[in-house]
Amino acid sequence: MHDLMDLAKGSIMLQYGHIVPAPGPDIQWPPALARATGALTRDRITALGRVDHFAPGTTLYTDGDVGGVVYWVVTGMVRTVKVGRDGNRIVRGFHLAGEFFGLEWTPLHASSAEAVSETRAVRCARSRLDALVASDAQIANELLSWLLRMTERAQDLSALGRASATQKLAYFLIDLMDRVSAGRSIALPMSRTDIGDYLGLSNETVSRTFTALRRDGLIATQVRSVTLLDPGALRRMNDGLMRDAL
């Protein structure tokens, strides 16, 4: 397990946390999760611990807490948040169905974790996940693939500092579409403020950029969802950004 983690060290930072009361045992696996992982992998990870329910806005753990628990999202979304020394709020990541969070490099949490929407997540001791990875090559390979994807995303995000607001939002929407595997229409349970704190933009800039993308015929929005009308054009914005970063 530690060899796998070392591949991504320095590039990603995920967190772990406390528990809340669990719901009933029946789980309806969402389509995106069914496509993202095999049934055998899901069953093995679920068997490691318990499935807990988190209402929107629930704080799973806070920056500086001590813990040894890993989470795997079944349904919903969790954001990890850090408040900088200047008092500014930074959203470090959004964790979706089929994704882990809670893997730390230090004994303490480096940020807080909060449920964005109604969320169910498997919580298990880090030691149990380590033991499973050591004994199961399939799980080890899938975790390695996930860590490499997270490392790539972290590298992409590091390039966003030089990007325009349009490039940043295009990257965010394409990345989210690829992760949820739900076609061109995707839910946006997070707020405009969340998106801005993730991309390093003000709430007003996020709203203006959404308006510009709608005006240009690239997206359509409705309440908390967005349809990518021209994902190819949005992806080309990302390609240009990544080429400039090389």
Euclidean distance between CA atoms 176 and 38, whole angstroms: 20
Query: Where residue 90 sits, what CATH number does that domain have?
Result: 2.60.120.10
Provide the domain limits for residue 208: 163-245
Our count of domains for the chain comes to 2
| Helix (H) and strand (E) counts in the chain | 9, 11
Residue 110 CB neighbour total at 10 angstroms: 15
Domain closes at, from 108, 126, 152: 152
**Does some domain include residue 158?**
no
**Does some domain include residue 68?**
yes
Q: Are 175 and 235 in contact (CB under 8 A)?
A: no
| 203 and 121 in a common domain | no
Residue 1, SS3? coil
Identity of the amino acid at 118: E
pLDDT value, residue 15: 30
pLDDT at 24 over 70: no
| 228 and 108 in a common domain | no
Point out the least confidently predicted range of 13-17, 109-113, 134-138, 140-144.
13-17
Closest CA to 138 of 20, 244, 39, 28: 39
| 209 and 143 in a common domain | no
Cβ-in-10-Å burial (0-12, 13-18, 19+) of 82 comes to middle
**Does some domain include residue 187?**
yes
**Does some domain include residue 105?**
yes
Query: Where residue 212 sits, what CATH number does that domain have?
Result: 1.10.10.10
| Average pLDDT of every residue of the chain | 80
**Does some domain include residue 79?**
yes
| 140 and 56 in a common domain | yes
| 59 and 9 in a common domain | yes
Q: Are 92 and 82 in contact (CB under 8 A)?
A: yes
pLDDT value, residue 23: 34
pLDDT at 72 over 70: yes
pLDDT at 77 over 70: yes
pTM, whole model, 2 decimals?
0.80
Closest CA to 6 of 113, 93, 105, 140: 105
pLDDT at 130 over 60: yes
pLDDT at 3 over 60: no
Residue 58 CB neighbour total at 10 angstroms: 17
**pLDDT digit string (tens) for 43-61?**
788 888 889 999 999 999 8
Q: What is the distance, to the nearest Å, from the Cα of residue 11 to the centroid of all Cα atoms in its chain?
A: 14
Mean pLDDT confidence for 88-109: 86
pLDDT value, residue 7: 37
Identity of the amino acid at 57: G
| 171 and 65 in a common domain | no
